[in-house]
Structure 1
């Protein structure tokens, strides 16, 4: 089996790719197209298309389809957001139009991380998707919980669904559904799953047929694919990260409630210095952005010298930032992009200036900004510190490692866990006084 993965943002690329390490595969997330690729490695493309318009996301996906290696043995996996943000239906159209498989099957469930689908409805920790903060996402709000309806409306193509009772009825029922889809010329299918074995069974049923399939899902489904397609799980050792020097740098781009709560826990650590970027200043003008950049850079250098780890994050005065942006001729989306870019560029500049080696990046847009500004071409995935939260190596300097995390993933203490796994010795209590 040859695996090709297309993800719509950077943290999604990481949390899907890390699932295959246990099968002896070596996954690399592509940040900027490398000159050479290792033959036996798995490369994950980040299309960075989640917040694009429907038409742009379709064309971008078709462009990336032409880049990936594709043979009869290739399994194509379209990594989607587990909360259905983005233009998944349009991107499924692009995948079908380019490769013309029998089916594009989308199963976003990730039961081990609290994402389940029953009767087409997606739940986050037992709460319907449209009743969570995802419905209020400033860039990609999701207005209802029916995954089949979302795909059908976005793709404007008939979409079938596999219910739990279908899946658990066994292979004969599944074959009836596939044959019905072929007879009615239906190529898009969504699927329920409430426990991990549902995803494993879905993959096994499809693999046992002669149908060609492109898979779509979160980090949940991809974990089961290598085993279904003949790979054995290897004896797994936790990867130890070599000791690093200097401050660890946390860059918190996500505005999710879960991510902000994790940040609050981190800032209770007396070894961590919070560096709050004033969003309203960033949105106001280029001159005030430069003043804010100089303030943050100097505060960061001073804190690192005193022995603190650094946590960069934006203030939550969103309304004021949006108003300042409007006064400067910017839309609310452009303000959000500007703040994300400033956060990433500023953190990367501090990392370079102070020659720091350990990073924690949350929020796909911000993580991409940091890595691009550091000049990274690839991100080698090494291990998982919690479900869906990978740690990996950046080939920027010989000893640079990073943890990446989607905004609404991880336990309350994930940032403290990351600080321990990043294994950096920095400062003393006496220095921090």
Structure 2
């Protein structure tokens, strides 16, 4: 077994494609917790030079772009991961299944299945399991719950880009894909791995290519993860990754490790940037503003040509001079978001906010900020691109689904990239303590 482990250390075992940047760090966090040394790249790397890690996560910004573009980016990521020698592949999307009837979860899954089945000669079958019980996302009889509410009653029905108005994931996914969609029911998951594999076989016999998998607890995710050991492709939220490191250990390919989450210390000033309009981020912004300095971005002012970036940086400077962290945010209530979208258009408003926060991030870096907490998947993507971040080493978990990270190349930066819906009310303070090394 030692020989197998030594060989595996030279090549990554698991290759992952994430449809947004915070989703990528969420998944990477789960893999690090399972003892896999994990590197996240920002986009598809230009070079095929070998990367030393047990798992690789390619972070794309493909969740809400045109399906054809999402396919092209995802297949390019797959080609790079193949070149790295990965043995198994994972397509990661949000635990609230963010998508529209046009995609992009279904079309990307179809394309990855086609590409991998033609390469490996294996049957084209995978699961779709966005469950993340630790953050309140569970699936029962194919229906996705957020806490005690069905997905379409959770607030996600008001999402500005991907409003989710149907909790039946079999139905949602079938509208997006040419593949037949089935269901691994909870009564197949509860008895254990053998029963799940029997369900896989039965669904394949019926012509199903993609199966929504029920899961209401972490124990269910461990069962499903082990049952997927022989699948070339797995799709879902980060939760399903709980059971994957154990598969590689049982196969003698992954050593036990205690330092998978170790990161270098990054010196410098700190700032928080928030672009998400989710309930969780609204609460986090309100908690910060009750006692800490903050500056709000008004998209309408940006659209009018007002110097909002300069104003935000001017606000930040005296606080940075005293080494005080600042919050700069565009977070708003659903009603405020809708009002802005009526005037500017939905995608245009989002792009305007992202571009503004990206410019502010560059300005903050010029002023000595080296530790960034960023709220919102689209915002995180814009910020890391603006800071020219190419790859990240994944560290310890701050809150479920959100790890600390540090850049591998270029100027040392420490970042916490948070999905809008994740994190406790005091997340911003907690994240800053993790990034500056003062967390317990």
1:312 paired to 2:328: yes
Separation of aligned partners in 1, 2:395 and 2:159: 31
Runs (5+) with no aligned partner, structure 2: 1-7
* Alpha-carbon distance in structure 1 between the residues aligned to 2:243 and 2:126: 17
Work out which of the residue numbers 21, 25, 39 in structure 2 matches 1:28.
Answer: 39
Q: Structure 1 residues 397-406 or 115-124, which shifts more?
A: 397-406
Map 1:15-54; keep pairs closer than 5 Å.
15-32=26-43, 33=45, 35=47, 36-54=49-67
Give the corresponding residue for 1:62.
75
Structure 1 match to 2:21 = 10
Paired residues of 1:280 and 1:322 also in contact (CA < 8 A): no
Separation (CA, whole Å) in 2 of partners of 1:378 and 1:196: 29
Q: Return the match for 2:267 from 235, 244, 263.
A: 244
Write out per-residue CA displacement over residues 99-144 of structure 1, whole angstroms, 9 at most, x where no aligned residue: 1252121111111221111111111112111101111111111111
Once residues 41 and 174 of structure 1 are traced to their aligned partners in structure 2, the CA distance between those partners, rounded to angstroms, is 26
Distance across 1 between alignment mates of 2:195 and 2:260: 40
The residue that corresponds to 1:84 in the other structure is 97
Contact 2:277–2:331 (Cα < 8 Å) also in 1: no
C-alpha separation in 1, matches of 2:219 and 2:153: 27
Is 1:391 the counterpart of 2:404 in the alignment? yes
Decide which of 276, 289, 294 is 1:274's aligned counterpart: 294
Q: Contact 2:127–2:235 (CA<8 Å) still a contact in 1?
A: yes
TM-score, normalised to structure 1, is 0.87
Match of 1:322 among 338, 341, 346: 341
Tell whether the 8 Å contact from 2:20 to 2:60 is kept in structure 1 after alignment.
Answer: yes
Match of 1:214 among 233, 239, 263: 233
Which of 339, 363, 366 is the equivalent residue of 1:349? 363
SS class of match (1:155): coil
1:345·1:369 contact (CA, 8 Å) conserved in 2?
no
In the alignment, does 2:385 pair up with 1:369? Answer: no
* Paired position in structure 2 for 1:328: none
Q: Distance in 2 between matches of 1:419 and 1:73?
A: 34
Number of matched pairs: 409
- How far apart, in 2, do the equivalents of 1:184 and 1:28 lie? 38
- The answer as to whether partners of 1:4 and 1:68 remain within 8 angstroms in 2 is yes
**RMSD value, Cα:** 2.4
Change (3 A) 1:30 1:397: closer
Q: Are 1:99 and 2:116 an aligned pair? A: yes
2:222 is matched with 200
Q: How far, CA to CA, are the matches of 1:182 and 1:71 in structure 2?
A: 30
Secondary structure of the residue aligned to 2:90 is: strand
Q: Report the TM-score when normalising by structure 2.
A: 0.86
2:5 paired residue number: none
Give me the whole-angstrom Cα distance separating, in 2, the residues matched to 1:109 and 1:385.
20
Contact 1:283 1:339 (8 Å CA) reproduced: no
Query: Measured at CA, do residues 237 and 152 of structure 1 come closer, stay the same or move farther in structure 2, by a change above 3 Å?
Result: closer
Give the equivalent residue in structure 2 for 1:429: none
For residues 9-62 of structure 1, the C-alpha deviation after alignment (integer angstroms, 9 at most, x for no partner) is 000000101222244432222125254442445321122111123343334323
Cα distance change on mapping 1:252 and 1:70 into 2, 3 Å: same
CA shift, 1:419, in A, is 2.0
Confirm or deny: 8 A CA contact 1:227 1:233 kept in the other structure: no
Residue pair 2:18, 2:91 contacting (<8 A) in 1 also: yes
Partner residue in 1 for 2:434:
421
Structure 1 residues 237-246 or 150-159, which shifts more? 237-246
Tell me how far apart the structure 2 counterparts of residues 164 and 213 of structure 1 sit (CA, whole Å).
Answer: 23
Q: How far off its partner does 1:215 sit?
A: 0.7
Contact kept in structure 1, 2:376 and 2:420, CA below 8 Å: yes
